[in-house]
């Protein structure tokens, strides 16, 4: 694989591996932000537990997704891409933090791009 393509793939791999892990861990500490503020009141009212508990569950999912990107890049990148689209759609449907939704859609495109780069690498290795 071209060294520039490999560099881009590695940058994306570590970005989409480490950032979800850090964000997931922060769901337990709220150092970066109060994550429960991103839950709409309507959705929070449907939860059978506190919004902070829900965000901790989200944190565990994000940690797993980040580890998956680092261990199985292609699969993990598709998971992270889908996860970011789901978050963006939730924010758009509640019409809150639309700016964050747009950012998450852009990041989803980056994660999808990493998956496609990993697929190309995989196909070349098996041909």
- Total tally of structural domains belonging to the chain: 1
The pTM of this model reads 0.87
pLDDT tens string 25-75: 999 999 999 999 988 888 889 999 999 999 999 999 999 999 999 999 999
Mean pLDDT of 1-12: 90
> Strand ranges (DSSP E) for 1-127?
none
Structural domain span for residue 54: 3-125
Pairwise CA distance, residues 38 & 16, whole Å: 21
Cβ–Cβ under 8 Å, residues 107 and 118: no
For the record, the structure tokens of 74 come out as 């292609």
Specify burial of residue 91 (Cβ count, 10 A radius: 0-12, 13-18, 19+).
buried
């Amino acid at each position: 694989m071209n060294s520039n393509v490999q560099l881009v793939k590695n940058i994306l791999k570590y970005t989409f591996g480490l950032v979800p892990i850090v964000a997931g861990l922060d769901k337990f500490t709220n150092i970066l932000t109060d994550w429960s503020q991103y839950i709409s009141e309507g959705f929070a009212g449907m939860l059978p537990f506190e919004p902070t508990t829900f965000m901790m569950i989200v944190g565990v999912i994000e940690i797993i997704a980040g580890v998956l990107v680092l261990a199985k890049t292609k699969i993990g990148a598709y998971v992270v891409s889908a996860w970011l689209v789901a978050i963006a759609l939730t924010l758009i449907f509640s019409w809150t933090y639309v700016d964050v939704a747009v950012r998450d859609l852009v990041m989803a495109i980056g994660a999808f791009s990493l998956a496609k780069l990993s697929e190309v690498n995989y196909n070349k290795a098996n041909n």
